[in-house]
Amino acid sequence: MRDRIELRAQNPVARCLLGQLIVPRIYYQVDWPQIADGPIDVLAIDRDGVGEAHLVDIRRNAPDALARIARLHKARAPFRWVAFLKGTEDETTVATLNAQEILYPADTAGRIGVFEIVEIAGGDLGANIRIKAERFPTPSYDLAAAFIASHQATIQFGGA
């Protein structure tokens, strides 16, 4: 069973992506094609479903989030992210994030981005970009088109 913070963090991460993308379709807890080990916590498909896919894997603490990076390196999507609750980093995690090597694939361009989930007044959650994702040369337009044809978005602003 997922941690409550992980589930609640989906909304602030989505809000943060809404500010970065152009008319995205947002999906929560969905199975993205060709990625193993369970659903993606937040999927954003830019430009009303015909643009780039952004995959976000959310974990309560930083070490668990970094452990998900190998999974994201294998994903087929141009933008990939992890998210965790700010302040959950240990010394090793801080050093790993500062070095950023784990975020880069060994054999191609791209960088996994990092969201920090923050607790704010009134028990609300927010999300900030700690490290911006860089595009992987992995087109996924065909996957996005098939996905939006068979799934209803959790948040949608555009056409259909």
What CATH number does residue 14 fall under?
3.40.1350
Burial 79-94 (b: 16+ CB within 10 A, else e): bbbbbbbeebbeeebe
| Residue 18 covered by a domain | yes
Residues 6+ apart with CB under 8 A from 122: none
Residues 6+ apart with CB under 8 A from 30: 39, 40, 43, 147, 151
| Residue 102 covered by a domain | yes
d(CA 60, CA 26): 21
| Residue 144 covered by a domain | yes
Instruction: State the burial class of residue 121 (Cβ atoms within 10 Å of its Cβ: 0-12, 13-18, 19+).
Output: exposed
Q: Between these two residues, 92 and 160, which has the higher pLDDT value?
A: 92
70 DSSP 8-state letter: H
How many other β-carbons are positioned within 10 Å of the β-carbon of residue 122?
A: 5
Task: Provide the CB-side half-sphere exposure for 155 (13 A, CA).
Answer: 21
| Residue 107 covered by a domain | yes
User: Which pLDDT band, with edges at 50, 70 and 90, does 68 fall under?
Assistant: very high
Range 59-72 average pLDDT: 97
Q: Has residue 159 got a pLDDT over 60?
A: no
| Residue 59 covered by a domain | yes
Q: Which domain holds residue 123?
A: 4-155
Per-residue pLDDT at 9? 98
Per-residue pLDDT at 93? 96
User: Which pLDDT band, with edges at 50, 70 and 90, does 147 fall under?
Assistant: very high
Per-residue pLDDT at 158? 63
**What is the count of structural domains for the chain?**
1
| Residue 160 covered by a domain | no
Range 114-133 average pLDDT: 96
134 DSSP 8-state letter: B
Whole-prediction pTM: 0.94
Per-residue pLDDT at 29? 96
Per-residue pLDDT at 139? 84
The answer to whether 102 touches 111, Cβ cutoff 8 Å, is: no
| Residue 60 covered by a domain | yes
Quick one: what percent of the chain has pLDDT higher than 90? 84
Q: Has residue 1 got a pLDDT over 70?
A: no
